[in-house]
């Protein structure tokens, strides 16, 4: 989040010009990390396995981060970050862009290393913010350059509407989380050879042909029992299954999460899954029981329409009988209106 800073490459030589032929990020030689703080004192460092980018000949820089590749080194923690925090089923990428002034780096071939200011824009979770920072640019050779943070960059969760995701993570892991992260990176860029695609050209490529980094760290094939149970518990906390008030008609906004659920059920063969509907305490107990029943049935119908065998799904309505929060506040009521997924056999 943050990567924009990678946009400052030096010229291969004075005759060619600063951005001649453009530059491409070298993923295997680069790193992108972020730190979070839990329970006031525990610092955890994580990163991303997949990102790409470059700088075109006009100095337009772009870096795309594939958020499904978030890497905390722990499988279920990665799943929580994807579904509860980044909501990658709806917002799979972050994009950082910057326009670099070549005048800032004209003396880099002589100095070899220089600290320069950088303004970059980050698009994440449907929101856009612009930041100012400083980066160190190191000329490693005529055709290689490194760009690194000089200090961690603070990114508040609220800037991108992620404060709700922080609360979900806190509840799922039973911890207190500082609602911002500090980001650092070390990027290496290589000058493009003749005929290489520039970043500007890459930006016009249809999304369907972009590199598929979704689930970069997700195990392939079927999940074991613990992984299945953990994933269903996490999906039950997303609050991304929507119904109009008093209705059992699924809102179209629910489809990205439900499609992810279809994939996970398909990779948990032999297991029967309960789809449980829950409501708050508004209205009569009988009406709430009937509404929760219909909502669970609507989700079940969606799953079976996606070729999940009907015998693998049990649909149950619990009404207002199993609250997870107080019904005395709007926030508590919102949490109680939910669909949960549980392995029953």
Query: Of the candidates 177, 209, 241, which is a domain's last residue?
Result: 209
Do 139 and 38 sit in the same domain of this protein?
yes
CA distance 78 to 66: 13
Where do the H-state alpha helices sit in 174-243? 199-203, 225-235
pLDDT in tens, 140-175: 998 999 999 999 999 999 999 999 999 999 999 999
Looking at residue 15, its pLDDT comes to 37
Residue 66: is it exposed, middle or buried by C-beta count within 10 angstroms (0-12/13-18/19+)? buried
Instruction: Examine residue 215 and state whether it is found in any structural domain, yes or no.
Output: no
Q: Residue 269 sits in a domain of what CATH number?
A: 3.30.1330.60
Other C-beta atoms lying within 10 Å of the C-beta of residue 25? 25
Looking at residue 217, its pLDDT comes to 65
pLDDT in tens, 223-262: 999 999 999 999 999 999 999 888 999 999 999 999 999 9
Query: Of the candidates 209, 244, 259, which is a domain's last residue?
Result: 209
pLDDT in tens, 294-331: 999 999 999 999 999 999 999 999 999 999 999 999 98
Please give the residue range of the domain that contains residue 12: 3-209
Instruction: Examine residue 176 and state whether it is found in any structural domain, yes or no.
Output: yes
- Going by DSSP bridges, is the β-strand pair 144-149/31-38 parallel, antiparallel, or unpaired? unpaired
pLDDT in tens, 34-80: 999 999 899 999 999 999 999 888 888 899 999 999 999 999 999 99
Tell me the average pLDDT across 283-293: 95
Of residues 215 and 140, more confidently modeled: 140
């Amino acid at each position: 989040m943050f990567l924009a800073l990678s946009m400052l490459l030096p010229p291969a030589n004075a005759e060619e010009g600063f951005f001649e032929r453009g530059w491409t990020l070298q993923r295997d030689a680069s790193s992108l990390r972020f730190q979070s703080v839990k329970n006031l004192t525990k610092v955890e460092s994580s990163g991303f396995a997949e990102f790409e980018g470059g700088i075109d000949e006009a100095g337009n820089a772009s870096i795309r981060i594939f958020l499904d590749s978030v890497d905390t080194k722990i499988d279920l923690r990665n799943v929580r970050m994807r579904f509860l925090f980044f909501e990658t089923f709806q917002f799979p990428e972050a994009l950082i862009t910057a326009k670099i002034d070549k005048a800032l780096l004209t003396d880099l071939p002589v100095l070899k290393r220089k600290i320069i200011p950088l303004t970059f824009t980050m698009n994440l979770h449907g929101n856009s913010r612009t930041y100012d920072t400083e980066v160190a640019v190191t000329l490693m050779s005529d055709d290689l350059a490194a760009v690194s943070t000089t200090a961690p960059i603070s990114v508040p969760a609220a800037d991108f509407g992620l404060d709700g995701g922080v609360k979900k993570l806190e509840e799922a892991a039973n911890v207190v989380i500082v609602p911002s992260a500090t980001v650092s990176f070390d990027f290496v860029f290589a000058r493009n050879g003749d005929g290489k695609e520039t970043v500007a050209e890459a930006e016009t490529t249809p999304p369907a042909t972009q590199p598929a980094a979704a689930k970069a760290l997700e195990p392939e094939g079927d999940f074991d029992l613990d992984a299945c149970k953990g994933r269903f518990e996490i999906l039950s906390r997303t609050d991304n299954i929507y119904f109009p008030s008093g209705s059992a008609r699924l809102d179209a906004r629910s489809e990205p999460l439900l499609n992810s659920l279809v994939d996970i059920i398909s990779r948990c063969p032999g297991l029967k899954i309960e789809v449980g509907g829950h409501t708050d305490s508004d209205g009569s107990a009988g009406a709430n029981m009937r509404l929760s029943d219909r909502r669970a049935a609507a989700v079940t119908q969606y799953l079976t329409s996606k070729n999940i065998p009907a015998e693998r799904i049990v649909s149950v309505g619990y009404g207002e009988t199993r609250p997870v929060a107080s019904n005395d506040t709007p926030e508590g009521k919102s949490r109680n209106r939910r669909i949960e997924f549980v392995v029953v056999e």
